[in-house]
Chain A
Amino acid sequence: MNKFLGNKTAILLFILPALLLYTVMVFYPIVQTFFRSMYEWDGLSEGTFIWFDNYTRLFQDSLFFTSLKNGLIFAVIITVTQIGIGSILAFAVADAKFKGRKILRISFFIPVVLSITVVCQLWLSIYNGEYGLINKIFEAIGLEYKQDWLTSSKSAIIAIAFVNAWQYMGYHFALLLAGVKSVPEQYMEAARIDGATKLQAILKINIPMMAETYKFCLVFAITGGLNAFANMYIMTSGGPGTSTYTLTYLMYRSAFRVGEFGYGSAAAAILVIECLIATLIINRLIARERISY
């Protein structure tokens, strides 16, 4: 092994393909985004270098703060729902006494494999103000609580976030279930002998020992929330007005609707920084020491 590690040429040869791919597909576009964010550029012409003017404009733009706020709301809702409910389901399904485990395990994962367009169209029907399922249920039980779920500027972002939370909850459920199962049985057995209840065992043994899995889920949920685009693009086109804009949507609007690719790149750069900060904080706070069983 030491002999192999001593062969720098071999290491370089093995690493090079992946490194090249990463550089071309990830690193170079990110660098380009930062570079282009300092340009007044329509995506076609040469462009003018304007230093940090796009950032100055961005921080004075109310739409930027709306987008930032919506991204955070979206991230919080999906994180709480996906990881919260995903955990409950994972612990339930992991219990050997739980009936119908197999069918539930498959059912929870089905939305994940559906196309996002299909899911959005499904929920568009459910949310419809005139004939949607939710309003019809309220009507059937005699409640006068008919809502325009997607056309109210306050509720639209929450309604959309819930769709994403519903679709990808199964993904987090699968990860967490794998996490639960990886906790050695002897720990749980020891807890039972010591008289711990099921809930105590989960809180004191399972969850702390699944810190690595939770860290992974948190990074995915939070960055996924901050990056949200497809759901609002399909369901509301960012509307009503600009009320369901996120930073990704602002980037899309600036680049493709307004033709300001430089400004769009600045929004994208902020998004990259935001996701990076979120990931660093999560890494710093959760599972700092690797747990080995």
Chain B
Amino acid sequence: MKKLAIAAMSFCMVFLAACGSAGNNEAVNDKAANEGNKETATNAAQEETKPEEDAKPVKLRIYAQYADDDTKLPYDYAVAELKKEMPNVELELEVQAQDDGQKLKTYAATGNLPDIFQAGLDIITTFKKSGNILELDSYVDELGFKDKMFPSTMNTLVADDGHTYAFPYAGNEFVLLYYNKELFEQNNVKVPTTYDELMTAVTTFNAAGITPMSIFAKEKWPTVALFDMFVTRNEPQGILKLDKGQASVSDPAYKEAADKIIELVKAGMLPKGATNLNYDQAAALFHQGKAAMFLNGQWEIAESTKQLGDKAGWMYFPGKDAANYEASKYAFSGGGGPGGYAVNPDTKDKDLTAKVAAFLSLKYAEYKYTERANPLVSTKVDKAIVTEYPPMMKQLSDDIAKITSTTSFAWGLSDAKFKAAIEDASQSLMTGAYSAEQFIEDVSKAVPAAK
């Protein structure tokens, strides 16, 4: 019995000890739980300061320009900055094809649109109708993007319908007529301020065996730009007015421009086979001192400075006469429009993708401004300039405030049918075997009704 009592007592003690130990464990567990909570709380606090560090890895497809230093370097910089800001985001780049947006439209048609893509006005207009582009108004407000824009570049953020479809980085860019100062001096040619002086320059350079003006007219936009430059002497809105259906191509400003180009082309203003020259061939003529003038956008400043140094300059476009020259001196051809990094509405995480798109555009502009000596960006940059402006850019930068009007590049035109027609007809003008009447007939069919 005693044995039984001892056994029972021992059992009870073991049981109690077990219970006691269980209680201690619970306390330990509680403590551990508290510690755990503390750790979780600490993690939460850390996440608040570095929200993306422990976030789930995300891979986004991006379709962007990546062709030369002017597009590769800013993109690489933006991606490197993104890695610091959002290390969990990985971008899978697909290089944008120079194909009038065909590939992108095919992607959209097949439901294979990248998460982020570069969009110009043409893509925005088309994708808006088909629902392939995300309206970014709420993100613009949320990210305070409007505050980061220059007031003068607001046209690159907001489309005609008042909405935002892409985060822009490029500001309003311009077409410039570059010239080789040395060739002008050597041949005693005055930098033309009037059409007559331009004709004198053309005949003098031709006589000296120098190509008066080089243009890469195989690409059609420079031919539209040249036509537009002539138009802006009389009509500051240039081709933009036709695009909006607010003018007729038979109006005197447009007809005179076509007539003047034909006259100059017949006099030998352009190199042989101009409509078949690509950028490399046309630029080589100018850079090697074989052509006195060269038409391109302001982005050519860097390359011309590199190739020709101080010999290169840009001129105000000549006018009909001295008075017209002065009056239209700051009516620039070119301009900007809505465009930049756009977002696929079917992307998995719209908020994140929009945030990435906005971040990329800001950083892209930052690099162009600080490292590529390009002040023509759409967003404000608070970092110091690393690469000083070359003299031609300084001249342009000083003039920006004086510019009275801008027009549009061919790719900034909103009406695709008009764009194709003016591109084809302007290129025909460069042959000299195309009359102003034919030009008017071909373009007028495509000029849209007034909007």
A interface residue numbers (CB < 8 A to B): 42-45, 62, 124, 127-130, 146, 148-154, 235-243, 253, 256-260
Contacts and interface: CB of A to CB of B under 8 A. Distances in A.
B130 A239 contact: no
Nearest to B108: A44
B410 to A, nearest CB: 11
Given A153-B433, A241-B431, A260-B417, A44 B109 contact: yes
B339 interface: no
B272 A44 contact: no
A239 B100 contact: no
Given A153-B431, A240-B431, A43 B276 contact: no
20 contacts: A42-B130, A44-B130, A128-B276, A130-B272, A150-B273, A151-B275, A153-B431, A153-B433, A236-B276, A238-B424, A239-B424, A239-B427, A240-B430, A241-B425, A241-B434, A241-B442, A256-B100, A257-B420, A259-B416, A260-B417
Contacts of B275: 150-151, 236, 239-240
Interface in B402-451: 416-417, 419-420, 424-425, 427-428, 430-431, 433-434, 442
Contacts of B101: 256
Given A43-B109, A259-B126, 9 more contacts: A44-B105, A44-B126, A152-B433, A238-B424, A239-B220, A241-B431, A243-B428, A256-B105, A257-B416
B218 interface: yes
Contacts of B100: 256-257
Contacts of A256: 99-102, 105
Interface centre among B100, B271, B275, B427 (most CB of A within 10 A): B275
B428 A242 contact: yes
A178 to B, nearest CB: 38
B145 interface: no
B425 A258 contact: no
A11 B274 CA distance: 61
Contacts of B417: 258, 260
A151 B274 contact: yes
A259 B109 CA distance: 12
B132 interface: yes
A149 B275 CA distance: 11
Contacts of B416: 257-259
A85 to B, nearest CB: 27
B127 interface: yes
A5 B112 CA distance: 47
Contacts of A146: 272
Given A44-B130, A239-B427, A241-B431, A253 B276 contact: no
Interface centre among B105, B108, B431 (most CB of A within 10 A): B431
A128 B273 contact: yes
Given A257-B100, A258-B416, A150 B276 contact: yes
Q: Which 6 A-B pairs have the closest CB atoms?
A: A241-B428, A129-B273, A129-B272, A44-B130, A240-B275, A151-B275
Interface string B241-281: 00000000000000000000000000000011111100000
A240 B272 contact: no
Interface centre among B101, B102, B126, B273 (most CB of A within 10 A): B273
B129 interface: yes
Given A42-B129, A45-B129, A45-B130, A253 B420 contact: yes
A151 B273 contact: yes
Contacts of B127: 44
Nearest to A44: B130
A235 to B, nearest CB: 8
A150 B218 CA distance: 11
Nearest to A45: B130
Contacts of B431: 151-153, 240-241
Contacts of A149: 273
A156 B416 CA distance: 26
Contacts of B122: 259
Given A45-B129, A151-B274, A239-B218, A258 B420 contact: yes
Given A130-B271, A239-B275, A43 B129 contact: no
B195 to A, nearest CB: 24
Nearest to B426: A241
Interface string B126-137: 110110100000
B124 to A, nearest CB: 12
B252 to A, nearest CB: 23
A54 to B, nearest CB: 14
B273 A153 contact: no
Nearest to A260: B417
B276 A124 contact: yes
A83 B425 CA distance: 36
B422 to A, nearest CB: 11
Contacts of A235: 276
